[in-house]
Structure 1
Amino acid sequence: MSNLVDMIIRNVKIDDAKPVVDIAIKDGKITAIESNLALTATNEIQGNGHVLIPSFVESHLHLEKAFVMDRKANRSGTLQEAIAVTAELKPTFTHDDIMARSRQVIRSLVQNGTTHVRAHAEFDPGQGFTGFDAVMQLRDEFKGIIDIQVVAFPQEGIFKYPGTEAMMVEAMEKGADVVGGIPYNDRDAKEHVDFVFDLAKKYNKDIDLHQDFSDNATNISIDYVAQKTIEMGWQGRVSVGHLTSLGALEPARRDEIIALIKKADISVMCLPATDLHLGARKDEYNVRRTLTPVRALRDAGVNVCLATNNIRNAFTPYGTGNLLHISMLAVPTAHLGGADDQITVLPMLTTNPAKALGLKDYGLEVGKNADLVLLNTDKISSVILDMPAPLKVIKGGKVVAETEVTQKLAF
């Protein structure tokens, strides 16, 4: 290896049980991880013993619906009103409006250490492809800063809204990366799932479904999705978001379905900001948390991720684009605060969603892409609790965002 590399990040903590190391980067790849590297670089960063991790991966987000809660509020806080309010607003979204709001979200994501995002982009015969086309444009605009996977997402259903079936095909022809779906919001869940799998097979694409989003376990279809995944040979290529109904099942049936999810190698995205806000609105006492059963899924070996879903709209009237805020919502509500549980949370923001998104060159290893974030803490075990500022966000070996941290006390 030449003594000259593009970047060296010196004295960083990548393992709490080991001394600090230096990271060498050339041509966007990690080329060496050693102590006291005898190399020079055109850009040398002093880590000062801070934690360096692979950058965060946002595995489930809606860009084009962000920052619209001031236009029409969801007064009841229910999922039903959120869907109705959004359906009313979507035809008013213009291309320029969507681009401006989405850019705001993307900048926040990157500033907070995220360099990969899977974006569910909506379309239907009422609004056309305005939102979808904008997200596709953003995918190209921010290339080299953040990688955007675009999901073709039929929020209003496929078969109950005539014309959507053809639009799903057109979205794939336009270059969508993933086939989306929402079985619980259509005339027949199995019909919906069958269509999605057939389309995914035709275009050889992964699948990402909004799945079983309800306080109760009636009319669930995750078992059918898992069986279909195995039947079609799509193991490791299917993700589901929400899956809150699973938590309402009796333990024996829940565990039976979880075993099937594991067999199908389906990834599950828990979306606490939205699901805690919308869930259990009719509970008058002993109010349920209405989250997918994270611990049971994790303990069974299912790939569990934490994601944002929505930012400041009818589904989620808050949010910053900071995945560490999402993890702190999950820690108490999913009982992840115990000593043995905390260490499982950070992977739900990094390596687990990277697996779900099929990122082949992700990770802090030699030969992997240099997509990294330097955090203002000195212990990896403290990242979730400290929620540290991202001092440097690195994408493809280039710094794409920085945060200066200054603090003064008067005592």
Structure 2
Amino acid sequence: MYDLVLRRALIAEGRPPVDIAVAGGTIALVGEATWPVLARETFDCDGLVVVPGFIEPHLHLDKALLDSVAPNPEGTLAGAIEVTGRLKREFTHASVRARALQVLRWAVANGTTLIRAHPDVDPIGGLTGLDVMLELRESQRHLVDLQVVAFPQEGIERAPGTHDLLREALRRGADVIGGCAYNEADLDASRRHIDTVLGLAVEFGVPADLHADFADDTSDGRFALAGAIAEATRRHGLGGRVTLGHVTSLAACPPAERAEVVALLAEAGVAVVALPATDLHIGGRGDARAVRRGVAPVRELLDGGVVTAYSSNNVRNAFTPFGNADMLDIGLLLAQTCHMGSPSDTARILRMATTEAARVTGVHDGYGIHPGARADLVVLGTRRHADVLTDRPDRRLVVKRGRVVARTVRTTELLDGPDVPDAGVSGGPSVSGAPGRPAAVRRARVA
């Protein structure tokens, strides 16, 4: 007997729907099941798109939902760090947990089945955020997998005592060592920061995930270190185990210089995670005209063979006063701001939220929709992969390890006269299942 069967699931454009059968948290069959099938639970997708569970590879759960407490009136990176630094002094385990759990549950409802969380580790907040994430990693594992990053937001040399805290965080069970290469006093200190972080990765046998090059240009060398990180990755033998978040200043480099850095990243096996919601909000603040977009050159990174994903980064705080931890919302924003509007671009962005993000987080073995893969799946309320971003579809079902953990059922009809035919639209746009989003009418008729 199967635990769950998804009937007539569309898993690839241009191919007929298939049945997906799950047993023991693992996909047992992808194809045509022999009916009648014995299953504890069956759901007829009727041709709806089914994708692997979304992955948020860069999310600051510990700092989420702080904007209502103290916003960032300047809207700058320096202002966000200053505001958050003040608020961190008042963090308690209970307050961090409540905010983090709220956003974690939003993410699950929106189809996310793995989150890489980056709690701050520094002398201001100590290990409070990290301890909360370690606890949530265990208590919420039935809903979502949580990878915990020990993240030195305030720098290492700039914040004495941070190095010891990072080591303690790793001893307590952090999955990843983080870095913030630009938040040191000068370029030499930033380079030492990189070597310290990668040295800890080697010592403790964990991946490294650094915030890097988060600026509008490269006039300050602290924001032009992606190539140096690639070289350091090779020196430390960490190919395939290092990720960079932001990397916005790369877009400001001349094309030949960009191509050189992209090639270095690809050769060294360094991944990049774009964070468009934050990068667009904070970037370009000093531009009076021709305001820069401030997003990593995603298309060039993908074309150059760099493993590239995207993520929400922050949700409603001093760094990003928006968001619902919805990967399709962020994917749509990325498409709109990076000139990625074709069906093939949509397919790329969907891979960035799934298979590419799985490579970033190191879970690509056993991920996807095939026999033997983990049964982390999302049933979307749309019937074409090409419409996944523009439809903003309901997450009809979210499946974690073969168990349905979230369900969205919505029916909206316009009541302004006789029934209006669907005009051939199948599935159609829909409201997201994210808590916190108003229930606006997005389709004329939904069955």
Q: TM-score range by the shorter chain?
A: over 0.9
- CA–CA distance in structure 2, aligned partners of residues 27 and 118 of structure 1: 25
| In 2: Cα distance, 1:339 partner to 1:121 partner | 36
Partner of 1:34: 31
* Distance across 1 between alignment mates of 2:286 and 2:26: 51
Give me the whole-angstrom Cα distance separating, in 2, the residues matched to 1:202 and 1:283.
Answer: 43
Write the distance in 2 (CA, Å) between the matches of 1:97 and 1:384.
34
Moved more, 77-86 or 30-39: 30-39
| Paired position in structure 2 for 1:68 | 66
| Matching residue's letter, 1:101 | R
Q: How does 1:287-298 map to 2 (within 5 A)?
A: 287-298=291-302
1:230 aligns with 2:231: no
- Between the aligned partners of 2:153 and 2:288, the Cα distance in structure 1 is 29
Residue 396 of structure 1 corresponds to 401
Question: What do residues 167-217 of structure 1 show as CA deviations (whole Å, max 9, x unaligned)?
Answer: 111010010000100010013111001101110101110010001101111
Name the residue aligned to 2:128.
130
Distance in 2 (CA, whole Å) between partners of 1:36 and 1:366 is: 13
User: In the alignment, which residue of structure 1 is the partner of 2:20?
Assistant: 23
**Alignment-derived partner of residue 196 in structure 1:** 197
Matched, 1:99 2:104: no
Superposition deviation, residue 384 in structure 1: 1.7
Q: For residues 64 and 92 of structure 2, what CA distance do their matches in structure 1 show?
A: 13
Deviations 1:234-285 (A, max 9, x none): 1111111000011111111110010000001111100000000000100001
Q: Secondary structure at the match of 2:200?
A: helix
- Contact 1:211–1:243 (Cα < 8 Å) also in 2: yes
Find the aligned partners of 1:335 and 1:407 in 2 and give their Cα distance.
32
Match of 1:322 among 302, 310, 326: 326
1:251-262 equivalences in 2 (<5 Å): 251-262=255-266
Shift, 1:99, TM fit? 0.7
Question: What's the Cα RMSD here?
Answer: 1.0
Structure 1 residue 44, shift from structure 2 partner: 1.1
1:381 paired residue number = 386
1:358/1:138 CA distance change after superposition, 3 Å: same
Q: Contact (CA 8 Å) 2:244, 2:271: kept in 1 or not? A: yes
Match of 2:316 among 312, 323, 333: 312
Give 1:41's aligned amino acid.
Answer: A
| CA distance in 1: counterparts of 2:33 and 2:206, whole angstroms | 44
Amino acid at match of 2:282: L
Alpha-carbon shift at residue 409 of structure 1 (Å): 1.5
Describe the SS at the equivalent of 2:40: strand
The one-letter code of the counterpart of 1:343 is A
Checking the alignment, whether the CA contact within 8 Å between 2:9 and 2:17 is kept in structure 1 is yes
Q: TM-score, normalised by structure 1?
A: 0.98
Structure 1 unpaired stretches of 5+: none
Alignment counterpart, residue 78 of structure 2, candidates 74, 77, 80: 80
* Separation (CA, whole Å) in 1 of partners of 2:34 and 2:326: 33
Deviation at 1:301, TM superposition (A): 1.4
Residue 8 (structure 2) aligns with: 11
Per-residue Cα deviation, 1:342-385 (whole angstroms, up to 9, x for no partner): 22111111110011000022111110000000010111221122
- Cα distance between partner residues in 2 of 1:343 and 1:136: 34
**SS at the partner of 2:259?**
helix
What is the Cα deviation at residue 32 of structure 1?
0.5
Write the mapping of 1:223-302 to structure 2, written as runs, cut at 5 A.
223-302=227-306
Is the Cα–Cα contact under 8 Å of residues 118 and 149 in structure 1 kept in the other structure?
yes
The one-letter code matched in structure 1 to 2:201 is A
Contact 1:117–1:148, Cα closer than 8 Å, also in 2: yes
For 2:366, give the aligned amino acid. D
Size of the aligned set, in residue pairs, is: 408
Q: Conserved in 2, the CA contact under 8 Å of 1:230 and 1:264?
A: yes
Point out where structure 2 has 5 or more consecutive residues left out of the alignment: 418-447
- 1:182-221 equivalences under 5 Å are 182-187=180-185, 188-218=189-219, 219=221, 220-221=224-225
Pick the aligned partner of 2:411 from 372, 397, 406: 406
For 2:377, which of 372, 377, 398 is the aligned residue?
372
**8 Å CA contact 1:235, 1:265 repeated in 2:** yes
For residues 30-67 of structure 1, what are the alpha-carbon distances to aligned partners after superposition, in whole Å with 9 as ceiling and x for unaligned?
01111243331111111121111101000100001011
Separation in 2 of the partners of 1:292 and 1:20? 36
SS of the counterpart of 1:385? coil
Q: 2:74 & 2:119 partners in 1: Cα distance? A: 25
Q: CA deviation at 1:119?
A: 0.2
Query: Separation in 1 of the partners of 2:196 and 2:287?
Result: 35
Q: Secondary structure at the match of 1:64?
A: helix
